[in-house]
Structure 1
Amino acid sequence: MELNDFFASINWAIVVALLTVFVSVLTKVDQSKLQRESIELQKSQATLSQKQLESFEKEEAQKLQASVRLDLRKVSSNNYKFFLSNNSQQNAKNVSFELNIPSNYSSPLISSEV
């Protein structure tokens, strides 16, 4: 069989159809891969959005709370005083503090000044 006879005997419509199927399969595989990547990206974006929302809600909740600070400051060579301050725009209510002093130590607080 000569080469010309071989090419003449080939049904080119079938060859083209097979090539088309092959290209379609490759395209479908690539599309599936892109779709999986897109879904993963959307999941990551959703997770990030959720964390941003939680952070925003936490910041908003902190704006509604008083922020109280207790400092021990030196007022003279031997004297120290506690200073209680509110570092927020919200009113601080019912604020108290307690020193946990071991039993073998005495309180540094002067009763008349507490």
Structure 2
Amino acid sequence: PAEFTARRRPELIASTPEVDAAADDDRVVLVDALSPQEYAGAGHIPGAVNLPAMSGYPREEAEACGALDPGKRTITYCHGGITAAMDALRLAQLGRDDVAVYDGSLAEWLAASPKNSRTV
């Protein structure tokens, strides 16, 4: 048996302005957690890389896109935040315990601004 004490970690929640800025910031890795078909078909936030949460991707894939680089901030997103959380968990399994989740994800990003009405 163990005692668990929950604590908020606000740095693990990304905001729309942070995600907007991520496209132009090489210190941030924006990870799209959706399937390759959704990433290509429905579009994605500019600058995002695709690491499909449901695929259980290997460490090498996460390393190749920079998602495990401790010198970079990693933010995951999907359509509404659920699959993004799964990607954050996968990255934690690979050793990265500071991955932020954009919980509003693509739905919020598209609604936030007319300039976001298009995805890549």
Give the shorter-chain TM-score range: under 0.3
- The normalised TM-score by structure 1 is 0.20
Greater RCO (Cα-Cα under 8 Å, separation 6 or more)? 2
- The normalised TM-score by structure 2 is 0.20
Task: Name the structure where helix makes up a greater proportion of residues.
Answer: 1
